Amino acid sequence: FAELSLSSFLADRLQQAGFAAPTPIQSAAIPLALEGRDLLAQAKTGSGKTLAFLIPLIERAVKEGWKPAPHASAQAASSRAPRALVLAPTRELALQIEMELRKYAPPAVTSLAVYGGVPIERHYRALRQSPMIVIGTPGRLLDVAGTRHLDLRGIEYLVMDEADQMLDRGFLRDIQRILQLLPTQRQTMLFSATFSPEILTLAQ
Ligand code: ADP
Ligand code: MG
Protein backbone atom coordinates (compact mmCIF):
# COMPACT_ATOMS: atom_id res chain seq x y z
CA PHE A 1 0.00 0.00 0.00
CA ALA A 2 2.91 2.37 0.72
CA GLU A 3 3.99 2.08 -2.94
CA LEU A 4 0.64 3.55 -4.01
CA SER A 5 1.67 6.90 -2.42
CA LEU A 6 -1.79 7.43 -0.97
CA SER A 7 -2.69 10.41 1.19
CA SER A 8 -1.84 9.94 4.86
CA PHE A 9 -5.56 9.92 5.65
CA LEU A 10 -6.23 6.83 3.54
CA ALA A 11 -2.90 5.18 4.36
CA ASP A 12 -3.76 5.45 8.08
CA ARG A 13 -7.23 4.01 7.59
CA LEU A 14 -5.83 1.06 5.62
CA GLN A 15 -3.21 0.44 8.26
CA GLN A 16 -5.94 0.42 10.93
CA ALA A 17 -7.82 -2.18 8.87
CA GLY A 18 -4.76 -4.38 9.21
CA PHE A 19 -4.39 -5.29 5.54
CA ALA A 20 -0.82 -6.39 4.86
CA ALA A 21 -0.88 -5.67 1.12
CA PRO A 22 -3.26 -4.95 -1.74
CA THR A 23 -4.86 -7.95 -3.39
CA PRO A 24 -3.81 -8.62 -7.01
CA ILE A 25 -6.85 -6.83 -8.49
CA GLN A 26 -6.19 -3.86 -6.18
CA SER A 27 -2.52 -3.72 -7.26
CA ALA A 28 -3.56 -3.82 -10.90
CA ALA A 29 -6.51 -1.43 -10.79
CA ILE A 30 -5.63 1.27 -8.24
CA PRO A 31 -2.60 2.87 -10.00
CA LEU A 32 -4.50 3.10 -13.30
CA ALA A 33 -7.64 4.45 -11.64
CA LEU A 34 -5.54 7.05 -9.77
CA GLU A 35 -4.25 8.21 -13.17
CA GLY A 36 -7.85 8.80 -14.21
CA ARG A 37 -7.97 5.92 -16.67
CA ASP A 38 -11.12 3.97 -17.52
CA LEU A 39 -10.99 0.34 -16.44
CA LEU A 40 -12.44 -3.06 -17.19
CA ALA A 41 -11.52 -5.25 -14.24
CA GLN A 42 -12.13 -8.94 -13.83
CA ALA A 43 -11.49 -10.86 -10.62
CA LYS A 44 -13.32 -13.59 -8.81
CA THR A 45 -15.64 -13.04 -5.86
CA GLY A 46 -13.85 -12.21 -2.61
CA SER A 47 -10.78 -10.73 -4.30
CA GLY A 48 -11.22 -7.21 -2.92
CA LYS A 49 -12.85 -5.44 -5.85
CA THR A 50 -14.74 -2.99 -3.62
CA LEU A 51 -11.60 -1.30 -2.32
CA ALA A 52 -10.10 -1.47 -5.82
CA PHE A 53 -12.59 1.24 -6.84
CA LEU A 54 -13.20 2.90 -3.45
CA ILE A 55 -9.53 3.65 -2.73
CA PRO A 56 -9.06 5.73 -5.94
CA LEU A 57 -12.43 7.43 -5.38
CA ILE A 58 -11.66 8.35 -1.76
CA GLU A 59 -8.15 9.43 -2.72
CA ARG A 60 -9.58 11.78 -5.34
CA ALA A 61 -12.07 13.21 -2.84
CA VAL A 62 -9.33 13.77 -0.25
CA LYS A 63 -6.84 15.29 -2.74
CA GLU A 64 -9.47 17.58 -4.23
CA GLY A 65 -10.75 18.48 -0.77
CA TRP A 66 -14.40 17.62 -1.42
CA LYS A 67 -16.44 19.55 1.14
CA PRO A 68 -20.17 19.89 1.64
CA ALA A 69 -21.66 23.14 0.30
CA PRO A 70 -21.91 25.55 3.27
CA HIS A 71 -25.54 26.43 2.60
CA ALA A 72 -26.84 23.55 0.56
CA SER A 73 -30.32 24.98 0.07
CA ALA A 74 -28.89 28.23 -1.34
CA GLN A 75 -26.73 26.47 -3.93
CA ALA A 76 -27.69 25.99 -7.54
CA ALA A 77 -28.86 22.45 -8.22
CA SER A 78 -25.77 21.69 -10.33
CA SER A 79 -23.35 22.54 -7.49
CA ARG A 80 -25.19 20.14 -5.17
CA ALA A 81 -25.24 17.24 -7.60
CA PRO A 82 -23.30 14.07 -6.72
CA ARG A 83 -19.86 13.64 -8.29
CA ALA A 84 -19.58 9.87 -8.12
CA LEU A 85 -22.05 7.11 -8.89
CA VAL A 86 -21.70 3.42 -8.09
CA LEU A 87 -24.13 0.94 -9.65
CA ALA A 88 -24.61 -2.34 -7.77
CA PRO A 89 -26.92 -5.31 -8.39
CA THR A 90 -28.68 -5.59 -5.01
CA ARG A 91 -29.71 -3.60 -1.97
CA GLU A 92 -27.36 -5.70 0.18
CA LEU A 93 -24.38 -4.93 -2.05
CA ALA A 94 -25.22 -1.23 -2.26
CA LEU A 95 -25.37 -1.05 1.54
CA GLN A 96 -22.16 -3.05 1.88
CA ILE A 97 -20.31 -0.68 -0.48
CA GLU A 98 -21.60 2.32 1.46
CA MET A 99 -20.47 0.78 4.75
CA GLU A 100 -17.02 0.15 3.29
CA LEU A 101 -16.91 3.75 2.02
CA ARG A 102 -17.91 5.13 5.43
CA LYS A 103 -15.15 3.06 7.02
CA TYR A 104 -12.40 4.63 4.89
CA ALA A 105 -13.65 8.05 3.72
CA PRO A 106 -13.54 11.33 5.69
CA PRO A 107 -16.94 12.22 7.18
CA ALA A 108 -17.07 15.35 4.97
CA VAL A 109 -17.25 13.08 1.91
CA THR A 110 -20.94 12.31 2.12
CA SER A 111 -22.74 9.35 0.58
CA LEU A 112 -26.12 7.74 0.14
CA ALA A 113 -27.28 4.28 -0.85
CA VAL A 114 -30.56 4.04 -2.80
CA TYR A 115 -32.38 0.79 -3.54
CA GLY A 116 -35.84 -0.58 -4.08
CA GLY A 117 -38.13 -2.03 -1.43
CA VAL A 118 -38.33 1.12 0.72
CA PRO A 119 -40.52 4.19 0.18
CA ILE A 120 -38.95 6.46 -2.45
CA GLU A 121 -39.73 9.54 -0.30
CA ARG A 122 -37.03 8.37 2.08
CA HIS A 123 -34.47 8.71 -0.71
CA TYR A 124 -35.89 12.08 -1.80
CA ARG A 125 -35.41 13.37 1.76
CA ALA A 126 -31.89 11.98 2.03
CA LEU A 127 -30.94 13.49 -1.34
CA ARG A 128 -31.69 16.95 0.08
CA GLN A 129 -28.47 16.52 2.11
CA SER A 130 -26.59 16.62 -1.24
CA PRO A 131 -24.55 13.39 -0.96
CA MET A 132 -21.34 13.54 -3.01
CA ILE A 133 -21.34 9.83 -3.72
CA VAL A 134 -24.50 7.90 -4.61
CA ILE A 135 -24.53 4.11 -4.59
CA GLY A 136 -27.57 2.35 -5.91
CA THR A 137 -29.38 -0.39 -7.71
CA PRO A 138 -30.20 0.57 -11.32
CA GLY A 139 -34.01 0.40 -11.02
CA ARG A 140 -34.40 2.70 -8.01
CA LEU A 141 -31.65 5.00 -9.26
CA LEU A 142 -33.49 5.47 -12.52
CA ASP A 143 -36.76 6.17 -10.67
CA VAL A 144 -35.06 8.84 -8.56
CA ALA A 145 -33.03 10.29 -11.45
CA GLY A 146 -36.27 10.81 -13.36
CA THR A 147 -37.27 13.46 -10.78
CA ARG A 148 -35.83 16.81 -9.68
CA HIS A 149 -34.34 15.07 -6.62
CA LEU A 150 -31.29 13.64 -8.37
CA ASP A 151 -29.25 15.34 -11.07
CA LEU A 152 -26.67 13.01 -12.63
CA ARG A 153 -25.12 15.63 -14.90
CA GLY A 154 -22.29 16.29 -12.44
CA ILE A 155 -21.03 12.70 -12.29
CA GLU A 156 -17.26 12.58 -12.81
CA TYR A 157 -16.65 9.05 -11.61
CA LEU A 158 -18.81 6.04 -12.51
CA VAL A 159 -18.41 2.51 -11.20
CA MET A 160 -20.40 -0.48 -12.38
CA ASP A 161 -19.80 -3.11 -9.70
CA GLU A 162 -20.61 -6.79 -10.12
CA ALA A 163 -21.64 -6.06 -13.71
CA ASP A 164 -22.31 -9.73 -14.44
CA GLN A 165 -24.83 -9.91 -11.60
CA MET A 166 -26.52 -6.71 -12.78
CA LEU A 167 -27.01 -8.19 -16.25
CA ASP A 168 -28.22 -11.50 -14.75
CA ARG A 169 -30.88 -9.48 -12.92
CA GLY A 170 -32.08 -7.90 -16.13
CA PHE A 171 -30.70 -4.41 -15.46
CA LEU A 172 -29.15 -3.87 -18.91
CA ARG A 173 -31.80 -1.46 -20.16
CA ASP A 174 -31.88 0.48 -16.88
CA ILE A 175 -28.09 0.78 -16.97
CA GLN A 176 -28.20 2.02 -20.56
CA ARG A 177 -30.79 4.64 -19.59
CA ILE A 178 -28.68 5.78 -16.64
CA LEU A 179 -25.62 6.09 -18.90
CA GLN A 180 -27.60 8.46 -21.12
CA LEU A 181 -28.12 10.78 -18.13
CA LEU A 182 -24.39 11.05 -17.38
CA PRO A 183 -21.82 13.41 -18.89
CA THR A 184 -19.69 11.66 -21.52
CA GLN A 185 -16.61 13.31 -20.00
CA ARG A 186 -15.99 11.15 -16.92
CA GLN A 187 -13.97 8.27 -15.55
CA THR A 188 -15.69 4.90 -15.92
CA MET A 189 -14.85 1.60 -14.27
CA LEU A 190 -16.54 -1.74 -14.75
CA PHE A 191 -15.91 -4.60 -12.32
CA SER A 192 -17.11 -8.14 -12.84
CA ALA A 193 -16.28 -11.66 -11.74
CA THR A 194 -16.95 -12.94 -15.27
CA PHE A 195 -16.85 -11.38 -18.72
CA SER A 196 -19.60 -12.65 -20.99
CA PRO A 197 -20.15 -11.29 -24.52
CA GLU A 198 -23.03 -9.22 -23.07
CA ILE A 199 -20.69 -7.50 -20.61
CA LEU A 200 -18.18 -6.79 -23.36
CA THR A 201 -21.00 -5.22 -25.37
CA LEU A 202 -21.97 -3.06 -22.38
CA ALA A 203 -18.33 -2.16 -21.90
CA GLN A 204 -18.02 -1.17 -25.54
P1 ADP B 1 -15.23 -8.85 -4.22
O2 ADP B 1 -16.04 -7.62 -4.51
O3 ADP B 1 -14.10 -9.02 -5.18
O4 ADP B 1 -16.09 -10.08 -4.13
P5 ADP B 1 -14.80 -7.63 -1.62
O6 ADP B 1 -14.40 -6.27 -2.06
O7 ADP B 1 -16.18 -7.79 -1.10
O8 ADP B 1 -14.54 -8.69 -2.79
O9 ADP B 1 -13.72 -8.09 -0.53
C10 ADP B 1 -13.78 -9.36 0.08
C11 ADP B 1 -13.14 -9.30 1.48
O12 ADP B 1 -11.74 -9.05 1.39
C13 ADP B 1 -13.71 -8.19 2.35
O14 ADP B 1 -13.95 -8.71 3.64
C15 ADP B 1 -12.60 -7.16 2.39
O16 ADP B 1 -12.62 -6.40 3.58
C17 ADP B 1 -11.36 -8.01 2.28
N18 ADP B 1 -10.19 -7.30 1.72
C19 ADP B 1 -10.23 -6.28 0.81
N20 ADP B 1 -8.99 -5.87 0.51
C21 ADP B 1 -8.12 -6.64 1.23
C22 ADP B 1 -6.69 -6.69 1.35
N23 ADP B 1 -5.91 -5.88 0.66
N24 ADP B 1 -6.16 -7.62 2.18
C25 ADP B 1 -6.97 -8.45 2.87
N26 ADP B 1 -8.32 -8.45 2.82
C27 ADP B 1 -8.90 -7.56 2.00
MG1 MG C 1 -17.81 -7.07 -5.03
Per-residue pLDDT tens digits for 38-90 = 999 999 999 999 999 999 999 999 999 998 766 555 555 445 799 999 999 99
The pLDDT of residue 159 is above 60: yes
In this structure, which residue's CA is closest to atom 26 in ligand 1? 19
What are the angstrom distances between the C-alpha of 21 and each of 15, 25, 145?
10, 11, 38
Q: How many CB atoms lie within 10 A of CB 63?
A: 13
- Determine the pLDDT at residue 129: 92
From 6, 27, 50, give the residue whose CB has the most ligand 1 atoms within 8 Å, as the site to mutate: 50
Mean pLDDT of 170-188: 97
CA of 47 from ligand 1 middle (Å) equals: 6
| 105-150 pLDDT, tens digit each | 999 999 999 999 999 999 999 999 999 999 999 999 999 998 999 9
- Nearest partner of 142 among 123, 167, 165, 168, judged by Cα: 123
pLDDT in the model for residue 78: 47
For the entire predicted model, the pTM comes to 0.95
Sign of CA dihedral 145, 149, 152, 155: negative
pLDDT, one tens digit per residue, over 94-109 is: 999 999 999 999 999 9
The pLDDT score that the predictor gives to residue 77 is 47
State whether the beta carbon of 49 lies less than 6 angstroms from ligand 1: yes
Average pLDDT, the chain: 93
| Per-residue pLDDT, 71 | 59
Q: Is 89 in the pocket of ligand 1 (CB under 6 A)?
A: no
With a 6 Å cutoff on the Cβ, whether 51 touches ligand 1 is: yes
Neighbours of ion ligand 2 (CB under 5 A): 49
**Residue 138, Cβ neighbours under 10 Å: how many?**
25
User: Residue 26 and residue 175: Cα distance in Å, rounded?
Assistant: 25
Instruction: Please name which of 88, 97, 94 lies closest in space to residue 175, comparing C-alpha atoms.
Output: 88
pLDDT of residue 67: 84
Ligand 1 centroid – CA 58 distance (Å) = 16
